[in-house]
Amino acid sequence: MQRMSSTLPLKKGYHSIVLLGLIDADYKFMWVKVGASGSCSDAQIWNQCDLREHIRDETIHIPPADPLPGDARDTPWFIIADDAFALRRWLMKPFSKRNMGHYERVFNYRQPRSRRVFGILANRFQCLFSTPKQ
């Protein structure tokens, strides 16, 4: 889960609009929330979004746990997020920078790389990150 912001012109300067999205491993949007003010925090946006409610109420189709390639153990699904989100059993976020061991440092290095899909999409839709010419 990650946010992207874009700028839209106003009378005085620019304000950003946030896109909060859930994307699968095939770069497909599964859920999107667009339109929150850039001044809102990720936590504020998340706490007011439908996806959070559906996950909590179990009213959304969540894939069942399934073995990963080369493994016989079932692995549950996870949402990969940045450290702005509260930790949940179904959400992976970076470890705190305090008292990190080697494995935590490796995880913190690799975990954001899994969220690169937003960078790929942002590159594809560069118009979202520019201001209109006047």
Query: Tens digit of pLDDT for each residue in 11-50?
Result: 445 667 777 888 877 777 888 888 777 777 777 888 888 8
Cα dihedral sign, 110-35-122-129: negative
87 secondary structure, DSSP code: P
Please answer whether residues 1 and 22 qualify as being in contact, where contact means their C-beta atoms are separated by less than 8 angstroms: yes
Angle at 38 between CA 87 and CA 21, to 5 degrees: 50
Whether this model's pTM surpasses 0.85: no
Query: Tens digit of pLDDT for each residue in 86-131?
Result: 888 888 888 888 889 999 999 888 887 776 776 777 777 776 666 6
